[in-house]
Amino acid sequence: MPELPEVEAVRRQLEPAMVGTRITRVELRRPDLRAPFPRRFAQRLAGATTTQLSRRAKYLLATLSSGETLLMHLGMSGSFRVAEAGDSSNDNRNPHDHVVFHLASGWDAVFNDPRRFGFMDLVRTTRLDRHPALEGLGPEPLSAAFDADALARACAGKRTPLKSALLDQQVVAGLGNIYAVEALHIAGLSPHRQASTIATPAGAPRDSAHRLTAAIKQVLAEAIDRQTSASYRAERFRVYDRESERCRRPRCPGVIRRRTQAGRSTFYCPVCQK
């Protein structure tokens, strides 16, 4: 499933083509994705202008001049491409191109989803925070609201493993398995330690909370830069998917291990992550 950096890269790809541009027509090539499209979906979008394209956790939010917001999730295999008008016509169509947004600018924004686990919804913008997908989400990890104090308060008293706490979307929104693992390695913290250990009994941040918030911001910012770089190359992670390889921390003799936590693979160095 695309993680936050991949979703942010898609947002940046779509923004120049969509923002400030009227949607002339929406072409639905099937009645559903993960779920059926909302009632009169194509008709409600036609004629609206996208005034802003933002991201909340792993969701894309297109704010529309109609007073509604288009809420989108890529699912397991969803992706967008921006094509010149006509390149997504029936003569050139990919069988997994399920939704085509025809734009007044002369571009098409094409949603492709082989496994059809993505979804799209239309929500009144004033009620967006109450949508089930967004309600209760924690702070954005790259925002000023997410700092050591916020993380410590969220983890205070939690007896769950630290990595499990990081994947709790009420603690921090949009942080996924890969980058939680990477951040813990940078911060030198074991994914198995109790989450409450990064906070004092009063909920104040310990040094570990400061290291961890900085590491989360670092790994996400680096990943977004890579994803949006014109010379993008596939990522080589510090610990993720590197079981039995030597730790990359300078002078650390450790070897990366893999364990399963809550059904997800956790990679870590047992020597330098305490």
Residues with active-site annotation: 2-3, 58, 264
Which residues lie below 8 Å from residue 158, measured CB to CB, with a gap of 6+? 165, 194, 195, 196
End-to-end Cα distance, the chain: 29
Q: Coil, strand, or helix at residue 226?
A: helix
Residue type, 182: E
Backbone angles phi, psi at 48, to 5 degrees: -85, 150
Instruction: Check: CB of residue 151 under 8 Å from CB of residue 213.
Output: yes
Tokens of 262: 């809550």
The span from the CA of 68 to the CA of 121, in Å, is 10
Backbone angles phi, psi at 73, to 5 degrees: -130, 135
- Residue 170 DSSP one-character state: T
Query: Which run of H or of E encompasses 153?
Result: helix 148-155
Which residues lie below 8 Å from residue 251, measured CB to CB, with a gap of 6+? none
Instruction: Check: CB of residue 261 under 8 Å from CB of residue 191.
Output: yes
Instruction: Check: CB of residue 162 under 8 Å from CB of residue 194.
Output: yes
